[in-house]
Amino acid sequence: MPHTTLFESGGHRNILFDDFAAGGHAVQANQHLIVHNGAGMILDPGGHKVYSKVLAATFQTLGGAKLKYIFLSHQDPDIVAATNGWLMTTDATAYVSALWTRFVPHFGLDSLVEKRLLPIPDEGMKLDLGGQDLLIVPAHYLHSSGNFHVYDPISKILYTGDLGASINGKNTEVADFDAHIPAMEGFHKRYMASTRALRAWVRSVRGLDISIIAPQHGQYFTGANVKRFLDWCDSLECGIELLEPIYKIPS
């Protein structure tokens, strides 16, 4: 099963699965797997159109390791729609913002598994993966009101969900940051809810030692482009700050 290894050292691996192309109008989405010391976490596994392929790739990549966590950065269908299948076919525990634990079951969570969908408190938390803490970092309103990122201190990868997303159809490393801006600017201005939220996030994560920023759609940032992306976010006006004071009523 083709995939990109973003990091590998000792018993620690960070895998980006190759695009499973949900097809049609479905937006391209990345699925990431973190493995540490025999335990795995799948991030934003996606919906029904890719479920069986992502599940097969996950089991194959895990080898003898066991899936421990299903991390859901927020409540969108391209992230949570197949949560029931993941909970039915594994013993893993799913985590989503406490704002969304009573909404995700509307995608059809079997009563046998719904107790394995657990809330992340607003302030974030740590999750122990095979003896290594992963940090669940608040990123509220970027774009969902209950929204989290994952920071892996071993690989120094920050997984940012929809933040950093690009829609040019590629899922490789960004080569030229300036040339990449048009692929993400419109999305961020409209989908990210607020400039204030974006700046709070930049201030929060600047203290982390980040080698890769890996979004759920499109290309990822490495090397000097990590700082370029943080600086770009710091200066971007988005969301409600761009609203006109009144809507024109359709006539």
* List of residues contacting Fe ion (CB under 5 A): 76, 78, 162, 216
Q: Which residue is nearest to Fe ion (CB)?
A: 76
Whole-angstrom Cα distance, residue 88 to residue 228? 41
Rounded least distance, CB 78 to Fe ion, Å = 5
Nearer to Fe ion, 39 or 72 (CB): 72
Under a CB-based contact definition with an 8 Å cutoff, are residues 181 and 232 in contact? yes
Rounded least distance, CB 184 to Fe ion, Å = 13
Nearer to Fe ion, 20 or 36 (CB): 20
Q: Are strands 12-17 and 3-9 parallel, antiparallel or unpaired?
A: antiparallel
Whole-angstrom Cα distance, residue 72 to residue 98? 11
Rounded least distance, CB 74 to Fe ion, Å = 6
Rounded least distance, CB 217 to Fe ion, Å = 6
Burial tier of 185 (Cβ tally within 10 Å: 0-12, 13-18, 19+)? middle
Rounded least distance, CB 227 to Fe ion, Å = 24
219: nearest Cα among 164, 181, 176? 164
Nearer to Fe ion, 76 or 152 (CB): 76
Phi, psi dihedrals of residue 57, rounded to the nearest 5°? -65, -40
Nearer to Fe ion, 58 or 147 (CB): 147
Strand partners, 212: 157, 222
H/E element, 96: strand 93-97
Nearer to Fe ion, 78 or 152 (CB): 78
